[in-house]
Structure formats: structure tokens, C-alpha cells
Structure 1
Amino acid sequence: MNASDSLFANAMPTQDVSADVLREKYAKGDETTVAQVRARVARALAAHEAEPLRLEMEQLFLWAQDHGFVPAGRINSAAGVGLKATLMNCFVQPVGDAISGRAAGTPGIYDAIAESAETMRRGGGVGYDFSAIRPAGSLVKGTQSRASGPVSYMAVFDASCRTVESAGARRGAQMGVLRIDHPDIETFIAAKDGGAFSNFNLSVGVTDAFMRAVLDDGEFELTHAAEPAEPIRLRPDGRWVYRTVRARDLWDRVIRSTYDHAEPGVLFLDRINGENNLYYAETLSATNPCGEQPLPPYGCCDLGSLNLTRFVRQPFTAQARFDFDTLREVAAVAVRMLDLALDATEWPLPQQAEEGRNKRRVGLGFLGLGSALVMLGLRYDADDGRAFAAEVARELRDAAYGASVELAREKGPFPLFDPEQYLDGAFAQRLPDDLRERIARHGIRNSHLLSIAPTGTIALAFADNASNGIEPAFSWVYQRKKRMPDDSMRVYEVADHAWRLYRHLGNDVSDDSALPPQFVTALEMSAQDHLRMMAAVQPYVDSAISKTVNVPADYPFDDFRDLYTEAWRAGLKGLATYRPNDVTGSVLSIAPPPAAAAPAEPGDVDPLCRRFESRPPGELESVTSKVEYTTQEGKKTVYLTISFMRVEGRLGGRDLAIERPFEFFMPANQRSEGHQWITSTMRLLSLAARAGGSIAKALADMRAVVWEKGPVRCGHLTRADGVQVPMYHDSEVAAIAFMLQQMLIRRGFLEPYGGQVSAERLDRLLAQRATVHAVPAGAAAPAGTAEATGAKCPECGARALHKVDGCTRCTACHYLGGCA
């Protein structure tokens, strides 16, 4: 161990969760330790050096990883293991207006779906700009029909992502972008209101012209190159004006949707392109799924981070300092490793390989900023904390650009390098004079070098849970639950690296309020302080920053709206916020005190569960629904009945009364082929209900049943624009389960996407039953009848999966996925 390293950092035992995440996500074959993974990565990348350098570079790459460089997840999981998987995290794929084929090098919609599926299958996350797709209702002259609009086609991309498993046994990730001036922008803004597009992050591409119209309270034109059914006006630039709207009204729709359920995010397109080093060779209109990499069509980038906690010397003392010399050394080696990853990767598509060769984008950033600040005695939300972060970003920029110049001297600059135009770029003009002079003389190997990505799982596996990317810690200690192969649940205690080190040094951590003042968590600081940190760092980052500005649930809407205006004024390239709310739930939940009873897992058990050995005397209230569905054998009609009973009990110190399903019934024709499975399924559901089992989970499992006879059409979902979309299921069992879910959703027992509603919510619903009218089929449930959570967690099964800090997090078990 280097004598200058933190004296105690490596002396602490590894957290169990870190070891398990390493084994599950990154260790391959016989590997069980971080050292073995690092050795494999160093060997795999060094193999692409010239023969005389390979052994030397392998040792240098291992040194860099041992001293703070953490390659991103794709490199750690796929380098040197022989998989046909990409080492790139970030891609943007073009989508044209045609159904199929190619026009001017841009694939039509279904060709684009095939290309994105291949990219995700190889492990890449994909972003798209859907703005080229013509608006709903516009003319399609070739077929004398009307277009259905980009949002309708996004559903096909969403289904493809849901179906395709990417390399490393994880689902793909996507970012969908639509320009603010697209005529379908309102539909896009509301696209997730009904729970659609669970495999997309959404962002609106906002222009400076629009923001000026917002500030001036002016009007704004929604336009497209495609001709509308009823032409209004053709502009001199060749775009048709579909409508003119009040800019502030449209802006409020964006902000209101974000306030209510954390999407869409906002991309400031003019700032992104104005700061682009390759402004002379490309136009940027979309980003990777987490937003830290604006990329052109077929653009690609690999990622890596420096663990800042590894450069803190004498932490928690008056002599605490940051070792910038070692940071610069490690950063230089990291650039070389990321550049080699471009040669070592498997490219999903030839167009991506060409982009990679011509521009050689890499994205070096950092993780552990929040933890490092605590170790140095600096507050994240104070001027000195921001000044330190800016200094780190500036030193990282200069070290990375200097290393890329040296690589250009050795291996040549990236092919599209033009010294005059490159150095005339807005970002390059801020570089130190000596760097600019060296770039002019020798060129530079990589068009872009810097990006601050989310680092949730690599921070757990390789950095002892140092804080995520640029974020502060959300909590010093929390519990993470994991479902084991035997269906049991294991509970981990997960602690922040700085907090653990402080405890390891013999300090009392039993009372958070007694911790030193630098121990400040994400929700203990203002939203403006989150924004100020981004503004302090962004001038030194040539790509972008993935960061979530967390605000409390009671944050005023007007102040929330101002955050986005302030972000634009501050020169940020985009912004994502997260406010706990009834649609998305809370960001994370802190572990309850040890004496408190553990809450039931959403979707695992019914609230106030109680076993009933027999039917109680008297009448049960029942609901019956006529269900029609279509298979290859023709149209069928069945009747589904669910009986409910009242249950009273005490939960969490409160007396509650709820209504629970008690019996499921579907009459079956005794002579029909399906009589046996219909009868047995209804009886088993009834037994599960009477035993207090999870009806939500049982129905979710039924919806996963597949048969060989083709899809079953049954029921519909209503899109945000009011259009009803038919639902297709993988079997009759799945179709019946869907309709039972819909009945329970309308009753208020399940939330809109099939998850379990809390007992407290059901108690309120039962109290309102006398005054709340029944909800008609297909209509929205009354306010307060169902509390939406999130997508289904692949680890614990709870409907509690949300996008937070650029990662996919489960609020029930603290599963992390979709990070760098």
C-alpha cells in the first residue's frame, strides 16, 4: 500500500453488499475479488498496445486501478471475458420518419428498432431523438393516410427494450427526446402519466428561443417538416406551422409533469451544441439514458471515474488534504485505458465503429465527491465545498487533455481533428494557454474526454460505497434487501464510505445530529445548493453531468419552476429533479429503528393479512365483469367475479379497516377444453386470498404465463392523448390475469400498474366508500383510491423501481441498476 494513501481506507473490512455486488455483476469465472477483476481489465486493455509495451502497460493499468481509477460497468464486466459485448456505456441511435429503409443515412422507424435492439443486446444504453417522426394526424401521401405520431412508435421501442436482455443479464436502458417545438410535444410530456414507457427516461429538448419566449411571455410556434392535414403556414425555412402556443403555458406543462412524477427532464440544446468540441462536424440532439453524454447519431462513448476518496490524505484531521499530484497521474493513465477500450470493444453496428474511430470520445469523471468532502471537513452545500469540487474538475480537465495530447503524439489525433476549428470552440477557448499551444502543435487523440456519470453499482463494488458520482450521500446508513434463490430475503446494512471511516477511527456515530457539520445529506440541503454544485463543475466538463436535484415533497411549485430557469441561466446543459410524490413514491427509505417492526414488502403480502379457514356467514359484496378476448381460435366471452370482505386490525400502532379480495370465480363450460385450468386457477387464487397471500404477486406471475398459440387480444390501455391502445397478452391465462388486475385497480385494491396499495390507503378508501361512486370500466380511479409506485424490481419483485441520481433504484430493497 502506498504510504501516501489514506491510512485507514483499505484497513476497513469490505461490506457484505459490496462483495455480493462484485460477484453478481463484475466477477467472471473463478474471480471472487476486486484484485482479480482489475487484473483481467488491465490485461485485456494492454493487449491492444504495441507488443513491446504490453507488459509495462498492464502493470501501469493495474496501478491506476489500485490507486483510484474505476472503469465503468461495461468495461469491468466485459473486458477480457470473450463476450460479444460492447465496452461502451453510451450510444445515441438515429430515427427517421419513414417506416422502414434508409434515407440520407438515417434508418426508418423499424430499422432503427432493430439497430437499437442489437445495441442493447450487446450491453449499450441507447438514446434517441424522435423529433424527425411526423406529428399525429399529418399527411402520409404515399399511403393516403394519417400519421400516428412519435409517441405511438415509442411504445414499440419500449416493448423491444422490455423484451431484449442485454449482455450481462440486465435489461436495456433508453432515453427518449422530443424537441419543444414538435407539434406532439404535449402528448410526449404526458406520456408517462398512465404508467407507459417503463423502459424509457424522457427529456424535452429545449431551445434558447423557447426560453426567451417563456421569459418574455411570448408565443411559440410548433412546427415540422411534414405537411399537416390542414396547412396553416409554410415558413421560409421549409417547416410547417401546426400551432402557435403561449410559451409559458407549454413550459408550465413540462414543469408540472416533472413536479408530479420526475419526468420529463430538460436538455438545453443550444448550450449543448454551443459547447460541443465538434461543433463543426456534428449536431447533438439526444443523450445516453442517464444524460451525461450528448451524442450525435450513432455516437458512442465509454466511461470511467476517479474515486476521489482515494486521494484524501489524513482524513478527519486538521491536516486533511487532497493529493492532486496522484490524481493527475492516475487520470493520465485512465485516459489511455479508456482510449484503448475503443479498440478492444465489440461494436454492435458498423456505423458506431466508424463514429468511434473518427472521434474517439471517452468520458472520464469522478465518484465519491460527497464522501471526499466529508473526509476533508468541507460541506457539500457551502462555498468552500463547491470551490474544492471546481478545483478537482479543473485539475481533472487539464490532466486528461494533457494525456490525450501525449497520446496524439504517440498514436495520432482523432481523424476529424481540425486544429483551427477545434481550438475555436467555446470549451477549448477556456483551456490554459500551454494546453492550447500543445494541441495546435500535436493534435489531440480524443474529441471529448470528460463526463460525470452515475456510479451506483461500481461505487458499491469497487469503492466501498463512496457517494454516487457528483452526488452527496442520501443517507449515511440504510438497509438493502435482496431476494435469495430460496425466495428468502436477506437484509444488508449499507453505509457510506466516509461514515464508516469516521466510525473506524473510533468516533461515535450513534446520533446523526451529533456528527460534525460536514456530514450533510442530499435532503438536508436546498435545491439551489444542488444546482450551484452543478454550475461550479460544468465549465470544466466537455460533455455533461448526470445529477439529480432532490427536493422535498412540499417544495412549492413556483420555486420548482424557477429551478429550471435558473439552470438555463447558469449555463447548464440539462437538469433532472426528483420530488417524492404520489406517482413515483419517495427516493429512498431510511432503515427504521431496530425495535420497529419491519414493514411488509409491497406486493409480497396483503395488508392486514389474516388466514380464513372458511367462508364467513352472511353476504359478501361482489363485482362481476364481462370480459371479451380474441385468440387464433376466435372470440371468447367470460364473466369474472371477485368477492370482497371487510378486515379489521391494528398495524403500525393504528386501528385500520380495509376491504380484501376473498373469492375469485369464473364460470366454465363443463365440456370446454379449458374447464379444468379455469376452475383450478380460480380456486387457487381464492385460497391465496383467504390465506393472506399476495394477490398482486399471484396475478403478476399469471401475466407472465406463455403459450404457443400466439397472442391474445384483451382489454386496452388509454394513452395520455386519450387514444385507447389494444392490449396483447402471451396466453389466455395472462389475459384473464390482466382483467382481474383491472377489476382490482378499479376497486382501489391495487395501484394502477398492479402493485399492492398500502393498508393506510385502503383504510381511507373504505371510509370513503359510502360517498365515492364506483369507477366505470376504463375510467381513472378517483383521487386517493390508488397510490402508484414504480416498475417491478427484478431483485425483490416490489413495484418500487424508480430512476434516481441516474440509476435505477428500488425503494423497497435498495436494488441498484442501470448505472455506469
Structure 2
Amino acid sequence: MQIKRRFTTAGKSPYEKIPFRRATSEIKNPDGSVVFKLENFAVPEHWSQVAADILAQKYFRKAGVPARLKRIEETQVPSWLWRSVADERALAERPVQERSGGETDARQVFDRMAGTWTYWGWKGGYFSSEDDARAFFDEHRYMLAMQYGAPNSPQWFNTGLHWAYGIDGPSQGHYYVDHETGELTASTSAYEHPQPHACFIQSIEDDLVGESGIMDLWVREARLFKYGSGTGSNFSKLRAENEKLSGGGKSSGLMSFLKIGDRAAGAIKSGGTTRRAAKMVVVDIDHPDIEAYIDWKVKEEQKVAALVTGSKICQRRLKAIMKACVNCEAEGEACFDPAKNPALKRAIKEARRDLVPDNYARRIIQFARQGYKEIEFAAYDTDWDSEAYLTVSGQNSNNSVRVTDEFLTAVEEDRDWALTARLGGRTVKTLKARDLWEKIGHAAWALADPGIQFHTTINDWHTCPKSGPIRASNPCSEYMFLDDTACNLASLNLMRFRDGEKRFDVAAFEHACRLWTVALEISVLMAQFPSKKIAELSYRYRTLGLGFANIGGCLMASGIPYDSAQGRAICGALSAIMTGTAYATSAEMAKELGSFPGYDANAADMLRVIRNHRRAAYGLDAGYERLSTPPVPLDASACPDEALIGAARRAWDQAIALGQEHGFRNAQSTVIAPTGTIGL
């Protein structure tokens, strides 16, 4: 592929005109003690302190970076792309404590990520010439430094550690598909093939210890969490409570296993940092345990409220009992007898009124009788990371309910709804659909979970229905595709595409969309995955997740209300430009490298989906193919920038024309992820 330069100049450093500054970052506890501090590290001068903090605290490699490096020659790779390893001879001349350290300059991170993408892109045949590879390398380094775009966290954590520094370790049980042979291969290295994907959807079978079973899922999830990724699964195949087991017993039910997975996720910090594991649980609306699932977090929140309130009451009342014993002026045992100590009698009465257990009151009196003057009784709080929340379950996943149009129609018409056994499909319980819908609404009102996933609509827009239905999503629901697949994300910062006249630079945006689509596709080629099946299916479908951030800031800077027809039209146009350009780029890559292996079986459906997108970009209200619910089309009349509408339509014209001729390299190309940090 040919790569044009827009932000950089051949022969010059992409950083040449970007001033850098020295910064300090630290994390403090509420008591003022320092948890983390890094001084004198380099970031682009225009970066905010928050952006610098995220880089220093989350994304810098903290250890193992050699102080001296040497290149490893590869005859089929240009010398400037050779990977580096520790120069052991040069390091031997340095004191042991100075032989390695951590990253201290943002350019180290930009170089290792962009360099790794370019290295694997060269090996995969993505560039027409060495000049194109150079342009790709420089343009991405510039865009990273200038905050035009950023990849998902696992790229920052993992990508380039092996290529740039020779950092490695034993295999963690991952697999990849060799891009030259197409063979599934067990990884022998922790970082040679990095784990750049943030979003995973994993299957789970109704099997306790077998491959793809319940306990195996916790192992696969742990591999993902360790390297900073998130995962979601639809647990609806698991038998409900009291369903029969093959050995003659009865199942402990869905909820018992969800609680195990919740505890496992809570124990793991993603990417080895302070970020917790990201996990999505999905359950179908007809599962027999659906009511318990919907109420799960409601009851756990009530437990937290009880713990917090009860602990504070107990602390106050028990200390009052101790004080009454200690400050008593009577002699001997009289101080510990409520009949002879009025203050103690009053304290016990108040404790009973507040429902403090009598045995606790008696315990404090015995404690005082032994000569102790004070007691320790912890009071809990409602901080999300507090001991109270660590005590209850359900705090380490986003929960969603999968609903069909059939169920929603039953709600509208106030019909009955059947909950069905996992084995045999018999009806276990019948209830009013509206009652179940009301239960979901109450739970969501009480604590924002569960969310809703609209199964019918999601699958109407599925590009590969011949390969199976979409049943689940990743933790934030931006990625929805087949089970046992993965998606690596990148998002473009819309604020950076406003030019000097405060107009949106469409050409620059299209250029960035094209280059980031290529980078994400290369990331599929270079990646390793936590299971054989995910490695195989990710290679087979090659799903990508290009998105954008800062739409709110972009609208506000333009003086356009977020919740307005103009705002929605601009957002729709930008989404259409991005997605159409990404699919057109995917078709361009298919011309050079071939379509994704699963394309032929799904070609008719994928082209149907692309045509429906094009119809929406043209603002059509009718004519859509095989959609249960028509989309809200792009409203050209409400968009204040005609150039956006024209670009949106051109993007989809190109996507369908190139796709019909060459197919597509990727089964999906875009998502809108909750990329708050990119907008900083």
C-alpha cells in the first residue's frame, strides 16, 4: 500500500517541531503519603498534567529497559526497522543498578509502538516501498505525540517491549496464527507477539472443568486481565439452579459460578497496574435464573448500606459502653453491672434501641472488666474501593440482559413470558413480561445495572451471520461480534482536527482514519491470544475497532449544543466518514492481501450491511434490507457543515464500490469506545 505524508516531511524527525517539557507525576494517599512519584520525565509541551500523569503512572514501562541496546540484523527488514536487545557487553561496564530502568520519555513509547506496527507491517507485506513504511512510521509517531489519536491500553502496556528493548519472558499459554503459513502456533515468548487487543468475547460451555468450560474461562480471563485487556461472555448456556446433572445431582445454578468469576476478576490488576480487571456478564432474558441475576447487585448494594450504617452505629454504641465502664467512679464490680451503673444502663439501652447485638455489648463489658480502656471497631464507608465493597460480590463486572424483539413485543402487549430450562427447553416458570421489564428498570435505576443488549437489532447489522449469531459483547459493549473473537481499538481525538479557522479538517480526518485502520489490521497480524479458538477466529475475521473521542468538546468549541439536531447530525456525519473510510481502507487492503478468510461465506450479508449503512448516510427513510427496526438516518438538513455530508456519502460510495470488487480485509472496522483519557 502507498502511504502519503500529511503531518511529516521525509528525511526529518516527526518530533522536529514539537517542543517537549520535563514533568513530575505523583499519586498520594488521602493521608498525604506518596504512593508513586516519577520526576523529570519528558512529554510534549502541550500535554496537560492529567495526560502526563496517565502516561507516567499507567503506560511507561517501569523496569527492565536496558540502558544500552544493540540492533539485531534481519536480512529481509530495513536496517532502521531492526529490533533491539540489551547490549550485554556495554552493560557489563556499568554498575549493576544502572544497567536497566524504566521509560522516562514519551518518545520512547511512541517509537516502540509505531516501530512495532511498522516492523510487522513490513514483514506482512503491507507497504509498497520502504518510503511508504517510513511515512507510516513517522506519521504515527507524530499523531501520537500531537494527540491526534491513540490505541487502546494493551498497546501502551505491551506493544514494542520485545521489538524496542528485547524484553521477554516465558510463554503464558497464548497462541497466534503464523501470518506466513496460516498455521496455529503456540507462543514461546511473552512479548515477541504482543497482546494488543483490549476487547474480547469468550464462549463458555456448560462444563465444569473441560476445555471452554466454566473453570477454564477463569484461566482465560486471567491471561487477558494480566495484560490489560477486558472480556465479556454470555453465560446463558449454564444450567439454572436445581437443573439435573449427569451424575444424578442438581446444579448449584448460574449465580454460584458468577460469584466465583467475580472474585477471580477482583483479585487481578489489569496490565500489572492499578487498573482493575474489566469484565462483562451477559444473560439471556429467558434464563430460569434471570430474576436472581437482575437482583444480584441490588441486594449486594443493600448489604453495603447495611455494613456501612451498622458499622458506624456499632462503633458509636460500643465505645459508649466502654466509656461508661471506664469512667465509672463506683468500686469493684459495680462499674460493670448496669443495675448499679446508670451510665452503663443507659448506654446498653441505646445500643439495644439501635439493634446492636446483646452479645457484643456483653463482650465489651467483659473487655473492660479485664482492664482495657478502649476498643477497636472498624467503621466502613461507601468508597468504591473500600472494605465494604470488597466484602460483597458482583463488583467486578458490568452486567447486561440480552433481550429479543419477541420479549419487547410481549412487554408492549402485556403478555406472559416463559423462562426455559437449558437442557430440553421446557418451560420452568411463566411470568408477566412487564413484571420482568419493571424489575430490570428498578435495578438499573437503583445502581445502573443491568444494561440492555438488543439481540435482534444487533444481529440485523451482523456482517457474518452465516458464522453464527452475536451473543455477547466486551465490558463496555462497543465491540459486538462472534464468541471467541477479539478487537483492538484506537480512537481519534476530534478536537485535533479543527483547523486554524475552527473548521473541521475533513481531509486530515480521512487520512488519519486510513492510517489507523492499517495500524489496527497490522496489530491483528502481530498479536497473540489467550486461547486456540480466539487465535483462530481473530485471524479468520480480523475485527478492528477504530473510533473517536471528544465529540462533546468538539461540539462545545463550535458553539453547538450536545443535545440538538445539529449536534446529532455532526456526530452522525463524522461517524459515517470514519466508518466508511475504514471499510474502504479494509477493501483496499483486501485488494493487496486478500479478504478475511471468513468473507466468502458471508459476502452477501456483509455487502447488505454496507448497503444499509450507505442508505443511512444518504438520509433515506426506507429501502433498507432485512432490518427489524430501521435506523435513524443522517439528517443532512440539520448539519451546519455541508462538507461533512459530502464526505460521509463519498466514504460509503467508495466502501461499497471497493468492497464489491475486492471484498474486505476485516469483518468489522469501527466502534465507539468510552475513551475518556484520549480527550485529555
Within the candidate set 37, 53, 57, 1:24 is matched to 57
| C-alpha deviation, 1:215, in angstroms | 0.6
| C-alpha deviation, 1:274, in angstroms | 1.2
Matched, 1:90 2:199: yes
Alignment match, 1:326: 508
| C-alpha deviation, 1:120, in angstroms | 2.2
Seq. identity, % = 30
Matched, 1:341 2:523: yes
CA contact (8 A) 2:227 2:271 kept: yes
Alignment match, 1:286: 472
| C-alpha deviation, 1:2, in angstroms | 5.9
SS at structure 1 position matched to 2:121: coil
SS at structure 1 position matched to 2:534: helix
CA contact (8 A) 1:64 1:334 kept: no
**Distance between the aligned counterparts of 1:25 and 1:211, measured in 2?**
42
Within the candidate set 272, 288, 294, 1:168 is matched to 272
Matched, 1:377 2:449: no
Which consecutive residues of structure 2, in runs of 5 or more, have no partner in the other structure?
Answer: 1-5, 9-16, 21-43, 66-101, 124-128, 163-167, 169-189, 301-392, 615-651
Within the candidate set 477, 488, 498, 1:312 is matched to 498
Within the candidate set 62, 66, 78, 2:141 is matched to 62
Within the candidate set 276, 280, 288, 1:183 is matched to 288
| C-alpha deviation, 1:76, in angstroms | 1.9
- Equivalent runs, 1:603-752 vs 2, <5 Å: none
The one-letter amino acid paired with 1:65 is L
Alignment match, 1:414: 596
Alignment match, 1:715: none
CA contact (8 A) 2:157 2:228 kept: no
Instruction: Encode CA deviations 1:442-463: one digit per residue, 9 max, x unaligned.
Output: 1111110010001133x2xxx4
Question: Judging changes above 3 Å, is the alpha-carbon distance between structure 1 residues 21 and 122 closer, same or farther for their aligned structure 2 residues?
Answer: closer
| C-alpha deviation, 1:12, in angstroms | 7.3
**Distance between the aligned counterparts of 2:454 and 2:298, measured in 1?**
23
CA contact (8 A) 1:277 1:428 kept: no
Instruction: Encode CA deviations 1:352-374: one digit per residue, 9 max, x unaligned.
Output: 11111100000000001111111
Within the candidate set 450, 453, 461, 2:670 is matched to 450
Matched, 1:359 2:579: no
**Distance between the aligned counterparts of 2:595 and 2:253, measured in 1?**
42
Alignment match, 2:461: 275
The one-letter amino acid paired with 1:131 is S
Instruction: Encode CA deviations 1:358-410: one digit per residue, 9 max, x unaligned.
Output: 00000000001111111222111111111111111111112111111111112
CA contact (8 A) 1:423 1:429 kept: no
Within the candidate set 558, 577, 582, 1:400 is matched to 582
Matched, 1:128 2:310: no
SS at structure 2 position matched to 1:182: coil
Q: What is the TM-score when the length of structure 2 is the normalising length?
A: 0.61
Alignment match, 1:147: 251
Instruction: Name the one with the larger helix percent.
Output: 2
Within the candidate set 399, 403, 415, 1:218 is matched to 415
**Distance between the aligned counterparts of 1:448 and 1:203, measured in 2?**
22
Matched, 1:39 2:80: no
Question: Judging changes above 3 Å, is the alpha-carbon distance between structure 1 residues 20 and 66 closer, same or farther for their aligned structure 2 residues?
Answer: closer
Alignment match, 2:153: 73
**Distance between the aligned counterparts of 1:441 and 1:33, measured in 2?**
45
The one-letter amino acid paired with 1:247 is A
**Distance between the aligned counterparts of 2:592 and 2:497, measured in 1?**
29
**Distance between the aligned counterparts of 2:468 and 2:534, measured in 1?**
14
The one-letter amino acid paired with 1:87 is P
CA contact (8 A) 1:299 1:352 kept: yes
CA contact (8 A) 1:206 1:268 kept: yes
Which consecutive residues of structure 1, in runs of 5 or more, have no partner in the other structure?
Answer: 227-237, 466-820
Question: Judging changes above 3 Å, is the alpha-carbon distance between structure 1 residues 303 and 223 closer, same or farther for their aligned structure 2 residues?
Answer: same
Alignment match, 2:660: 440
**Distance between the aligned counterparts of 2:219 and 2:606, measured in 1?**
38
**Distance between the aligned counterparts of 1:311 and 1:159, measured in 2?**
43
Question: Judging changes above 3 Å, is the alpha-carbon distance between structure 1 residues 371 and 8 closer, same or farther for their aligned structure 2 residues?
Answer: farther
| C-alpha deviation, 1:64, in angstroms | 4.0
| C-alpha deviation, 1:50, in angstroms | 2.5
Within the candidate set 599, 606, 612, 1:429 is matched to 612
| C-alpha deviation, 1:246, in angstroms | 0.4
Alignment match, 1:251: 437
Instruction: Encode CA deviations 1:108-160: one digit per residue, 9 max, x unaligned.
Output: 211222222223223321111110011111111x2211111111101111121
CA contact (8 A) 2:199 2:488 kept: yes
| C-alpha deviation, 1:298, in angstroms | 1.0
| C-alpha deviation, 1:427, in angstroms | 4.4
The one-letter amino acid paired with 1:146 is K
**Distance between the aligned counterparts of 2:54 and 2:606, measured in 1?**
43
RMSD of equivalent CA atoms:
2.4
CA contact (8 A) 2:549 2:676 kept: no
The one-letter amino acid paired with 1:326 is A
**Distance between the aligned counterparts of 2:508 and 2:416, measured in 1?**
53
Question: Judging changes above 3 Å, is the alpha-carbon distance between structure 1 residues 309 and 35 closer, same or farther for their aligned structure 2 residues?
Answer: farther
**Distance between the aligned counterparts of 2:140 and 2:110, measured in 1?**
9
CA contact (8 A) 2:297 2:394 kept: yes
SS at structure 1 position matched to 2:109: helix
Alignment match, 1:705: none
Within the candidate set 35, 50, 62, 2:122 is matched to 50
CA contact (8 A) 2:150 2:490 kept: yes
CA contact (8 A) 1:74 1:87 kept: yes
SS at structure 2 position matched to 1:448: coil
Alignment match, 2:70: none
CA contact (8 A) 2:154 2:227 kept: no
- Equivalent runs, 1:589-604 vs 2, <5 Å: none
**Distance between the aligned counterparts of 2:606 and 2:478, measured in 1?**
23
The one-letter amino acid paired with 2:154 is R
The one-letter amino acid paired with 2:151 is P
The one-letter amino acid paired with 2:209 is S
Q: What is the TM-score when the length of structure 1 is the normalising length?
A: 0.51
Within the candidate set 242, 246, 250, 1:137 is matched to 242
| C-alpha deviation, 1:424, in angstroms | 4.5
The structure with higher relative contact order (CA 8 Å, sep 6+) is: 2
Question: Judging changes above 3 Å, is the alpha-carbon distance between structure 1 residues 117 and 423 closer, same or farther for their aligned structure 2 residues?
Answer: closer
**Distance between the aligned counterparts of 1:271 and 1:59, measured in 2?**
41
